[in-house]
């Protein structure tokens, strides 16, 4: 079964590009243009295997959406990958402190797909390192 990826990005062109490229990479993609819309999509379609969240969005930010996901037991363990144009070390550290991968924009699709692959690996796959 194809892994399901939720993409939350407020820029329509980037959201469309991510949808196309991730589908080409073998993922089932559901998307939303805002944090609020993402919560509606999750309520309707259920949890994804991984979430890709834009950090800076009007209304609910990606960081706020991450917090909302962690509050819901059915969504709390979804791996999160942040995408952001905010490249200051403190911004990156804040995202990583939440246990998420933090990629900067413009995003390299290969870096994103590698981050998704790592997020989808069971925790036992990385124990021992090899």
> What pLDDT digit, counting tens, does each position of 2-58 carry?
999 999 999 999 999 999 999 999 999 999 999 999 999 999 999 999 999 999 999
**Mean pLDDT, to the nearest integer, of 85-104?**
86
Whether pTM exceeds 0.75:
yes
Residue 124 confidence (pLDDT): 44
CATH number of 4-125: 3.40.50.2300
Q: What HEC string does the chain produce?
A: CCCEEEEECCCHHHHHHHHHHHHHCCCEEEEECCHHHHHHHHHHHCCCCEEEEECCCCCCCHHHHHHHHHHCCCCCCCCEEEEECCCCHHHHHHHHHCCCEEEECCCCHHHHHHHHHHHHCCHHHCCCCC
């Amino acid at each position: 079964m194809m892994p399901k990826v939720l993409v939350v990005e407020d820029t329509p062109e980037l959201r469309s590009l991510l949808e196309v490229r991730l589908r080409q990479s073998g993922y089932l993609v559901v998307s939303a243009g805002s944090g609020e819309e993402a919560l509606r999509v999750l309520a309707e379609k259920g949890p994804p295997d991984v979430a890709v969240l834009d950090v800076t969005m009007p209304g609910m930010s990606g960081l706020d959406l991450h917090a909302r996901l962690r509050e819901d037991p059915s969504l709390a363990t979804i791996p999160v990958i942040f995408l952001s144009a905010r490249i200051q070390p403190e911004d990156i550290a804040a995202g990583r402190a939440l246990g998420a991968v933090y990629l900067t924009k413009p995003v390299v699709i290969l870096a994103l797909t590698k981050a998704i692959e790592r997020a989808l690996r069971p925790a036992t796959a990385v124990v021992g390192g090899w």
